[in-house]
Every structure is written in C-alpha cells, then in structure tokens.
Amino acid sequence: MNAVDTHSDYLIEGRTGTWELVVGLEVHVELATATKLFSGAPNHFGDEPNTNIDPVTLGLPGSLPVLNRQAVELAIRIGLALNCEIRPSTFHRKNYFYPDMPKDYQVSQYDQPICSDGWLELPSGTRIGVERAHLEEDTGKSTHQGGDGRIHGSVGSLIDYNRAGVPLVEIVGRPHLRSPDDARSYVLELRAILLAVEASDAKMEEGSMRVDANVSVRRVGDTELGKRCEIKNLNSVRSLGRAIDYEAHRQVDLIEAGERVRQETRHWDEGDGRTHTLRSKEDADDYRYFLEPDLVPLDPGAEWIEAVRAAMPLLPRERRSRLATAAGVEVTSPAVAIVVERGLDDLAVAAIEAGGDAGRVLVHAEHNLAVEGAEALRPAALAGLTRLEVGGQLTATQAKAVLTDLVTGGGDGDPAAIAAAKGFEAMDASALATMVDEAIAAQAGAWAKYLAGDEKAAGALVGSVMKATKGKADGKAVTALLQARRAGG
C-alpha cells in the first residue's frame, strides 16, 4: 500500500482498490482579549494557579455572566476574514459534568452562531468551506497526579481555573480537505489569518490554537462520506499531518479486513505514532442544550460589522495576490507564499514599485532576508541593489554580501557605496572570457569530460575561475561562457 503524497492527489492504494481521504478540521482559538468571555477576570496565560478567578469564573452560586464586547469584535474579525456571514446569534448551555468546568455546563453558541457559511483559500488556490465560527468559553485545566500525568492510572487530579471562561472561537471547517498536506496548509493559513487580524496568538504548543481532525476514507468515486473518527491531541502542524496519514491508513486497513470503522474520538500519541480509542460516540452524552437564560441575544448589526470590516488589515491571501501581481509571477508560486509568511511582502512590493528588479527582489526576500532586522530595510535600497545586479555591476554572491551589510547597518545604507567599500567591481566581459580560456587550458582533463557531455565536469572549471577572481566572477556568466565554447563559440 502506497501513499501518493502529492498535495490534493493524496490517494491510498489498498488491496481492494483506491481510497480517498476526507478531512474536516475543528479549530479552537483563544481570543486575545484582556479579560474573560463573561467577566473581568484577566485572560492571561501562564500565571500562578487560580489567580485569574472571580465569582463568574468559578461559577459561584449567584454569579452571572456579562458578554465581553472585545470578544465579539474579534469573533466578527475572524468571521469576516473567513468570508462568513455575520448574523444575529444566541448562547446556549451545553450541559455535562466535568470537574474542570465550574458550572458543569459550558456556555456556547449552538444553532445560531455569530459567523456562518464562509471559506478559507489555501495558498494553492483551493477553497475550503467553513461551516461556522462561534463563541464559547474555555474550561479550566486538570493536572493528573501519578500515572505519568495521563488520566489512566492517575491517583487524582488538581484543577486550575485560570483558563476557565477564556473566550474561544471554534472554527468548524467543512470536510473539504483531501490530504494531510492540505490539512497542514489549512491550519497554517488559518493561523496566518488569526495573527493578521490580531484575534489570537494562535500557538498550538501553548494550546491557544487547538486542532481536532475529523477523518474518514471512501473509495474513489464514492460520494457518500464514510464513518469518521475525531482525532484529538494534535499539538503541532507536524502531528496533524502524521495523525491524519496514520488514521487514513488505519481505516483503509480496517475496512479491507472486513471490519467497519466505529465513529469515535481517538487520541493521537506522538510517541508511538498511532491513534488510540478515547471514547465511543455511541454512548455519547445528551447535552440538553437550551438557551442560556442569563444572557440576551447578540445582534451586532450592520454598523458594527461594517466598522470592523473597514478596519480589517490585508489578509494573507490578499497580500499574496498583491505581491504576485507586483512581481509578475503566479499567485500560487511558493516564493510568494514564503515571502508573505515572513511578512516581507510590504518591503518586496515597495522595492518593486521603487524600480527594483521584480525577480531579484523576490529571490532576496525568499532566500536572503530571513534575518532579524530585515523588515527595516529601506525599499529603495533593496531596489537599488537589484538594479546593480541586473546592470552587471554585482554578482549574485556579491549582492547577497551587500544585502547582509545593508541589513546589519540598519537598512538605510547605499548599496553602491557598500559594494565599493567592499571592493566589489564587476569584471568586464572580455576579462572574464580570458579567465575562462585560461581555466580550460589549465584543466584539459576536465574540459575533455565536459566536451563529452559530463556536466559535472563544469564544476571544476567554474571553481578555478572563481578562485582566480577571488569570487568576483558571476558563476552563471562563467557557465554560460563554457557552454558557448563547447557549442563552438
């Protein structure tokens, strides 16, 4: 059985046929508010246990919730960024007993979520549906004593309610993902969006972004969805991909062995690289949802929504599109995605607009600017640098060195002056041709191999030219001259 892991062409070749993967992700994000969803207790990660608590957080008898305006604002931002409709909404109580939930019910949006029917576009251009995004409160945190910190074998648990009541938005994606790569891409893109709209710090490691994956498989050509399993404990984007891949193969093996997939919640174990049954959905709780009588309906209204929309920053997708247009490349080009992810697209676009060479600007932004201080680089300096390159005054290697000095110097130096100070002057063409001919004469053996078609032999020839010029020669130009000689020039 082979996995063909080529993006959305991820198919599983089983013994009895070819299988397709169907994944939908549910993502919980903690909102970057100052206070909790329903009270003024601080929303702050990493504080001493049970210090960010007030009567509402602890669900003390007589306490009542009041909705945080900023949490609503951030939920609207997320909704708009995910192309959702923002609608009048209500809060329900989801009733179940669990010690880290102070009221033994969770206040959550149920049949009337604030955001619905949107989509997220992956950098590859594929649009993944978003069913809804809704507000709800987080639970406290249990630490299990003994049993290696796991629930099983534990002698008891200790509960810290600092996290209880922290505002969450749960983003429910439609089952439109078809490969582990797409799932990873979805999460990365979602994280980029959340950071762009400043709704969350979206750290999977700290739990401020938590991803559950609903995974099922079906035979290629089938239109019905298979029985799905929900995978939990995915603490990184890497785990997400591994877990989905493992789970897909597990389900195919199961079905091909004549068994059936049970709808259940499974736990990803990073250590053994497998998923394990956590809870069967068949004995699912009955949550007895009903409208939360202590809260009133929420209807942000057009004015509020439009004010949020007007203040929205450019989203990653829009930034990719802007950069691709400026650079004259495909929006799906990996360089575009990388530059936007690094936040260097503003610089790149400005440098291109300032007359820089689009191709060279993109190359520098993609490869040579993943350093501290890069964003302070003056666009005109980057533009000037690329003009020196295309004008033949600097080789690629020299340009990179000048760029490094530009950045360490604070970003607003003059590239020509730096190049001059470093003693970089481009060799003129005839001098380079002479050096190439000297190298051919000096290394007859290598030249003979190169003539016979051994491309690798060119390396020795280029190397000796570079050595003779102390690295000032442009490697590409040397190769071009060698090719010309071989062709009979």
Partner 1 sequence: MTERISAAAAAHVAKLARLQLAPSELAQVTSQLDAMLDHFHDIDALDLDGIEPMTQPYPLVNVLRDDVVGPVLDRVEVLAEAPSAVDHRFGVPPIPGEAP
Partner 2 sequence: MTATALQLAAAVREGRRTALDVVEEHLDRIAAREGELHAFNLVLVDQARAAALAVDEKVAAGVDPGPLAGVPVALKDNLCTRGIATTCSSRILDGWHPPYDATVVQRLAAAGAVVIGKTNLDEFAMGSSTENSAFGPTRNPHDPTRVPGGSSGGSAAAVAAGFAPLALGSDTGGSIRQPAALCGVVGVKPTYGAVSRYGLIAFASSLDQIGPFAATVADAAALLEVIGGHDARDSTSIPGPMAPISARLGDGVEGLRVGVIAELREGIAPDVLARVDAAVVALTKAGAIVDEVHIPAVTYGLTAYYLIAPAEASSNLARYDGVRYGLRVDAPDTEQMMAATRAAGFGPEVKRRIMLGVYALSAGYYDAYYGKALKVRRLMAQDFDAAYQRFDLLLSPTAPTTAFRLGDKTADPLTMYLSDVCTIPSNLVGHPAMSVPFGVGTDGLPVGVQLLAPTLGEVTMFRAAAVLEEAMR
**72 contributes a contact to partner 1 by CB under 8 A:** yes
Choice from 70, 83, 90, 95 touching partner 2 (CB under 8 A): 95
296 versus 448: smaller Cβ distance to partner 2:
296
**1 contributes a contact to partner 2 by CB under 8 A:** no
Choice from 125, 149, 273, 297 touching partner 1 (CB under 8 A): 297
**23 with 215: CB under 8 angstroms?**
yes
Here's the x/- map for partner 1, 228-257, by CB under 8 A: it reads as ----x-------------------------
**102 contributes a contact to partner 2 by CB under 8 A:** yes
The DSSP bridge pattern shows strands 229-234 and 209-219 to be antiparallel
Q: Find all residues with CB under 8 Å of 320, minimum gap 6, and list them.
A: 123, 331, 336, 337, 340, 345
**67 contributes a contact to partner 2 by CB under 8 A:** yes
Choice from 64, 307, 311, 431 touching partner 2 (CB under 8 A): 64
- Whole-number Å distance between alpha carbons of 187 and 171: 11
97 versus 303: smaller Cβ distance to partner 2:
97
Provide the 8-state DSSP code for 262: P
294 versus 455: smaller Cβ distance to partner 2:
294
Question: Considering Cα of 447, then 449, then 450, then 455, what sign does the dihedral take?
Answer: negative
Give the footprint of partner 2 on residues 272-311 (CB under 8 A): 286, 288-290, 293-296
Residue 64, contacted partner among partner 2, partner 1, none, CB below 5-8 A by kind: partner 2
DSSP for 158-219 reads EEE-TTTT-EEEEEEE-S-B-SHHHHHHHHHHHHHHHHHTTS----TTTTSEEEEEEEEEEE
Residue 139, contacted partner among partner 2, partner 1, none, CB below 5-8 A by kind: partner 1
Please choose, out of 123-131, 255-263, 278-286, 435-443, the segment that lies near partner 1 by the rule CB under 8 A: 278-286
| CA-to-CA separations, 127 to 48, 228, 434, 474, in angstroms, rounded | 42, 22, 56, 43
Cα atoms found within 13 Å of the Cα of residue 203, Cβ hemisphere only: 6
DSSP for 296-334 reads --B--HHHHHHHHHHTPPPPHHHHHHHHHHHHTS-TT-H
Using CB under 8 A, list all residues that contact partner 1.
33-35, 39-42, 48-55, 58, 66-72, 96-101, 139, 142-144, 151, 154-161, 232, 265, 267, 278-279, 285-288, 291, 293, 295-301
Using CB under 8 A, list all residues that contact partner 2.
55, 58-67, 93, 95, 97, 99, 102-105, 157, 159, 286, 288-290, 293-296
